[in-house]
Structure formats: structure tokens, C-alpha cells
Chains A and B, each alone.
Chain A
Amino acid sequence: MLKILKTRFQQKYRTLSYPDGPAPEMPLRFAGRPVLDPGCQAGCGACRSACPTGAIMAAPAGGTLSLDTGRCLFCRACEKSCPQGLIRFSRDHGLASATRQGLVIETGAVQTVSARNELAATLFARSLKLRQVSAGGCNACEADCNVLGTPAWDIGRFGIQFVASPRHADGLLVTGPVTDNMRLALEKTYAAVPDPKIVIAVGACAISGGPYAEHAEQHNGASSVVPVDLFIPGCPPHPLTILDGLLKLSGRITAVENS
């Protein structure tokens, strides 16, 4: 008993002060929200051929590029390939969007992306119970959702909790591209959640299929099977990116302008 108390004392109080205090600092080499600088002579296409998932598109008008963070693996292949150095990854962790279109970053544009959901911000504002379904996820997104329950992140303090049964849940948090072998299980789990309900797609796989997009063995993400209310990009998203998305969803923090 005394040893337990002594260890408790040594391990200290570690819960983050965020969002009341400052957000924890991201690693210097972290690949967060991409920034596309104007001035692309459009045509070399090096970034598009370097991208493993087709996340980079040229605007039909020509000249400008856009990057779909829903497909992006944040691997920096485009950043390395650009001869003009116009693509870079900032350390901004805020990536979540309530709409699929909101994940597309345009060249030089100042975008305000909303991740707020009326249902989550009203009915579920003080208590949001989620059932997690891994549908082909590689256990990285799963692990960084799990970590939100540890004392450092402690999402319980926001009334958010991962529950054991869909019957106890207000919504689903889906990871993985939705493999063919998990499709039925995901449909049944969704059906078992009482109405009204929300769905959150976490990670490139759950948003677009990620590296497995267009494979016959999967379904290019959660929205092929269930309606999605919040998209949180990354491969996997940093725990802070996931937390940021959940807090914006329920209106606890608001989106700031991203430029």
C-alpha cells in the first residue's frame, strides 16, 4: 500500500491542461496541415506522380493545385518532389471537417473549416458515448484513439467515453477502409446504435480507403456504408488531432482560420 502511494507520488499529475491551457507542442518534424503556396507553373506534375494515393489534384482552370487531406498519408513525398518548394506540411494539428469537401486544401486560400455538428453540440454536448469499430484499420488509428482514455489525455473529463456496446452508444467512431469482410458487421453495429446518432471517420483509410483505395477487398471508407458526420484525417491522426476534432464537433472549441 505504501509502495503504491509512493509510486503515485513519483508519477506526478500528468493530465493536459488543454483546451483551457495551451495545446501540447507538436514534434518539430510533425506533418500537420499542408500548405500550398501559389506560384506553381502547373505542368511538371512531379507532386502528382509522387503521391501514392492520388491526393493531389490540379484545378480544371489550370495553374493551381489542391490537396485532399482525406486521401493524404502525410508521407511528404509531394513536398520532396516539388522543384519549386511550394508544398509544405505545417505543424498545425487541426485537420477535422464536418464535410468531405472541407478536407480539400486549395492553393493559397484562407479556409475556415467547420467541424461542428448540431446534434453533438446540443444533445450530446455533455455526454457523448462512442462505440469504436475497426473495419480493416491497422491498429495505429485504434491505438491513438485508445490513448485518449489514458490519464494524460483523459477524454472522460469532456463527457466523452468509448463504450462496450453499440446499444449504449450515441454514435460510432470508424477506423479502417471498411474491408469487405467487415462490411456486414459495421452495418449491424450502426443499426444497433439508437437514433439519433453520429458517425466519425478517423484516418485516411476510414475517409477514402487510404493506401487501400480501389482495392477490391475493401469499400473506400466508412461513408460507403454509413453516413459520416465528422472526418479526421491522418495516417494515423495524432491524438491531439482526434481530440481537436471531437471538441470541435461538440462545439467546445471553434475552428480558427487556416491560411
Chain B
Amino acid sequence: MAPSSDWVMIGNNEAIGLKAIAAVSFERFRQAVIEAVAGEARLSALPVWSPGDSGGLRVIAVLSLPQRGELGLLSAALPDRWPSLTPHCPAAHWFEREIAEQWGLTPEGHPWLKPIRFQPCRRHPDGGSRSACAGLTDFFAMAGQESHEVAVGPVHAGIIEPGHFRFLCHGETVYHLEISLGYQHRGIERAMTGGPVPRSVHYMETLAGDTTIGHVTAYSHLLEALAGATVPARGKAIRAIAAELERIANHVGDLGALAGDVGFLPTRDYCGRIRGDVLNMTAAVCGNRFGRGLIRPGRVQWDLDGGLTEDLLARLDAVEKDVTGAVPLMLDTPSVLARLEGTGVVSSETARDIGMVGVAARASGLECHVCAEFPYGIYRLAQLPVNTWTGGDCAARTYVRWFEVQASIDFLRHQLLELPAGPVDRKLSPMAPESLAVSLVEGWRGEICHVAATDRESRFAFYKVVDPSFHNWFGLALALRGQQISDFPLCNKSFSLSYCGHDL
């Protein structure tokens, strides 16, 4: 279904004057979003902000329209109460909960309205809407002779970030898993407002530390769009090289962790080390294993000079050899496949309905990949193949990761051999005032969406971050239905979502 004519279309990394975005009545806005998402569109962001002058709140829907390769924008004044979009548009589920919590508002008829982060309300910072304690909220309950609950976290058994998981079980079967997050909330979006300041780029680099390159790339694109500039080709290529190193490192680490969770130790041990070898390649580029300090708006801070490309190519060959030994070893082992296949299934309909993105969505057969749909930077010139699988189970998510590792290795080699010459930086003019821009990036987990608008003084009026985990945590909850608790580590690792990226 084509979106209604109210939508204003822009490209990825394109700025637009705030006044050019159509403002319609909230009822019309609501209908337009529901209709568009029922068609081909993805709801990528739903930022709310207070423009200040009128005293009211405004909401902007940011839709991704993959078939057109464009982003649709529509705005409305946000009332204190509105008929919830979620019953008609499940992908709005988490967004409406976020808005309700951040602004103290009520989407009426929302099926399960409760906090997602346990953060202070922005309109009434001292108000009573905040729960006394993270995780203290309503949970689904189930009664019956064999029914019981298992609560895990926020502190987990391994070295991982905190989150609270509550399993509703009947006998051995999990009927539902509730995921309660917010333990990592550090106030990033609040602190970004009024920026940029020297710390802004560091918020982006530590927003989700394993996705440093992904988020700082989105941030840089946004600032460059608002300043009307792009970096030279060599800078774009180095950013993509860093992004693919990040993708390979995380996927290899996750493949190893999956092997560990099914008890196949050889692949776990090899992949744990190979992941480090890839992180060390990033460190060879910029000194930091996570890519801190490499990318800044308008530039990359380190060039690939002095034989570094040759060094990286040699290391890449070694990584390819090792990983091609380690991963197929697991995938050729029948007992490993038996454990992965049929575990934690998310159908493509469910994935589509709840708005899943990235690796998990592709494993459910959805062909969503920002590099192909809304290409940016060097991906406009060099293609990264999109790999999908149809099972929607842990095996599918494992295969998609493995295919992406191989595709990224090929892409990297090509980029390193064909690295454009020239400078790596461009002087940025100040950001345009009263403008908005959207930046989509395919991080290793999936679609990263940053949206920002500037005020009259060209400072951030708001800065909105949507990590792929924001879309996918609910998918993990649904994957657990009808499974056993012992399937949880496997399902969790096959999704491999970010806690801090969600909590901000």
C-alpha cells in the first residue's frame, strides 16, 4: 500500500527544514502510521519532543520505505491521551511504552503499558510516575497446579550486562518470557539535547560499546547531513572497513558463544580467540579494539597508510583460514544442528508484525538490510550481499551470522585492495538551524536509526537513538514461547541483543 500523500519523503542522511514536515491532526497521523505500516513501511523511529514555544509536545513518525528507498516523515501535536496504535500496529508497542514513560502520557487501550527503562519522566522530573525501583512493575501471572515462575537477573551468571527475565512456566514449558530492562540507563538522549558538546561523540561511542562504529557512524552522518557535507571517498571506505571488522568480530564471537551454549567446545574456544584477532585488526587501524577515536563527524582520525593495508590483508587471510576451519566444524556436527534446529522459532509474519530488524529478521526470511535498502557511504558503490534464511529458529540465526561473516570478509578484502586515494576529512560548516535529519546504518545487529532536529541556534532540539535491540527484544520474548528454560541461553545468544543500546 502506498503511503498517503501527507508523508514528506527524504533520503537516508538527508536534512529537511522542520517547517517542511507536514503537520496533521493526531487522528490523521495515527491512521496514516497504521496504514503505512500495514503496507510495506517499517516504523524506524517515533521521536517526541517539546519545541518549547507552544508548550505542547510534537511527535514525528519516521518510516522506512524499502521499496522506494526513501524515508517518510509526518508530524502531529501529541495529546496527553490517545487511542493506542499498538492494537492495530504491533510494531508501535515498544515505542508507545517509551513515550508513555518518558513524557508521562497515556496511549489508551495499549495492551501492556508499563515502563521499559525506569527512567525519570521528562515533563515531571520529580513526579510520581516513576517506579521506586527498576524492575518493580506489573508482570504477567499464571495460576494452576503445575504453573510456576522463574526470575533471573539483573545480575547474571556470566560476564554480561544486566536485565531481568521472568519465565512463566507450566511444567517444563515456558508460556511466556517477560523481559524487564532499564538497568543500564545512563541518560544519553537527555544529555544530547542542547549539544553537540565535546562529550557527545563519546556518548555515541559508548552507547552500545560493541557497536561503537555503528553508532558513531550514524551520529557522524547525521551531523554531516545537517551541515550539508559528506566525507571524501577514502574516509567513507575506512568507515566501512571498520564497520565490517565490527560485524565480523561480533558475529564470530556470537558463533563461538552459541557453540559454547550447546556444549561444543572446540568452536567456542577457536572463535573466542579469532574474535580477538579481528578486534586487534581494528586496534591496528586506530589503537583501540572497539574502534574508539576512529570516526568523527566530517572525518576519520586515522588513515590506512604506511603498509597498514597490506598488514590488514595478511591478517584477514589468517582470520579467514581460521574461521573457515572453526565454524563449519560446528555446522557439520549433527548433534549441534539437532540442538539448534526448531529451537526458538519466530515466524516471518510475527517478525514482520512486531517490526524486527537485522540478523534476527533476516533469519525469519525478511530481506531487510539498510546497506541494500538505503545505501550510505561506500555502500552506495560497493554491494554487501543480503543473506536470509527461512526457519526463524536458532539454526537460522546461526547460519545468517556465518553467511554474513563470509560476505564481510570478501567485502573487506575488496575495499582494502581498492581503497580510494585522497583525503579522509572535510571541514564541516555549522549545522542548519530548525532542521531535521535521519541516519540509518546497518550495524552488526541490524538497523540503527538516529534522528535529530536542531533549534534556532543550531543546537540539538532532540536527539533520538533507536538501537536494533529496541525492535528485537520482544522478538526474543516470543521466541521462547513453548520452549523450555534450558533453551533460553541459546535463544538469547542467537539474538545477541544489546542492553545498554536499548536502555540508553
Q: Interface of A with B (CB < 8 Å)?
A: 3-4, 7-8, 10-11, 14, 27-31, 50-53, 73-77, 131-147, 149-152, 162, 164-166, 176-177, 179-182, 184-185, 189, 205, 210-212, 215-218, 235-236, 238-239
B325 near A10 with CB under 8 A, answer yes
Can you list 17 contacts pairing A with B, beta carbon distance less than 8 Å? A3-B329, A4-B329, A11-B325, A28-B284, A52-B199, A74-B292, A75-B202, A76-B293, A132-B159, A134-B162, A134-B184, A140-B210, A150-B272, A181-B503, A184-B133, A218-B187, A236-B209
A139 touching B134, Cβ below 8 Å:
no
Interface residues, chain B, with chain A CB atoms under 8 Å away: 117-120, 133-134, 154-155, 157-162, 182-187, 190-191, 198-199, 202-203, 206-210, 212, 253, 266, 269-270, 272-273, 275-276, 280, 283-290, 292-293, 302, 322, 325-326, 329, 332, 498-500, 503
Shortest B133–chain A CB gap in Å is: 6
Known contacts A150-B276, A215-B191; is A138 also within 8 Å of B325 by CB? no
Assess whether A29 is in contact with B285, with CB atoms less than 8 Å apart. yes
**Residue contact B186 to A179, C-beta cutoff 8 Å:** yes
Report B-chain residues with C-beta under 8 Å of the C-beta of A235: 206, 292
Residue of A nearest to B277 (CB): A152
Contacts of B210 in A (CB 8 A): 138-140, 143
A134 x B290 contact (CB < 8 A): no
Q: Are A53 and B199 in contact (CB under 8 A)?
A: yes
CA distance A53 to B162 in the complex (A): 25
When the two chains form the complex, which single residue of B154, B202, B272, B499 contacts A185, counting CB atoms closer than 8 Å?
B154
A205 to B205, alpha carbons, bound, how many Å?
Answer: 13
Tell whether, in the assembled complex, residue B284 and residue A138 are in contact, meaning their CB atoms are under 8 Å apart: no
| Given contacts A29-B286, A138-B207, A182 and B186 within 8 Å (CB-CB) | no
Question: Which 3 pairs, one residue from A and one from B, show the smallest C-beta to C-beta distance?
Answer: A140-B209, A138-B209, A29-B287
Given A3-B329, A179-B186, the answer on whether A151 and B289 have CB atoms closer than 8 Å is no
Closest B residue to A212 using CB positions: B186
* Chain B residues in 8 Å Cβ range of A176: 184
A8 to B207, CA, bound (A): 37
Q: Is the CB of A144 within 8 A of B287?
A: no
Q: A7 near B329 (CB under 8 angstroms)?
A: yes
CB within 8 Å for A152 and B185 given contacts A31-B288, A184-B133:
no
Knowing A139-B210, A152-B276 are in contact, say whether A77-B198 is a contact too (CB < 8 A). yes
Q: Which residues of A contact B208 (CB under 8 A)?
A: 138-139
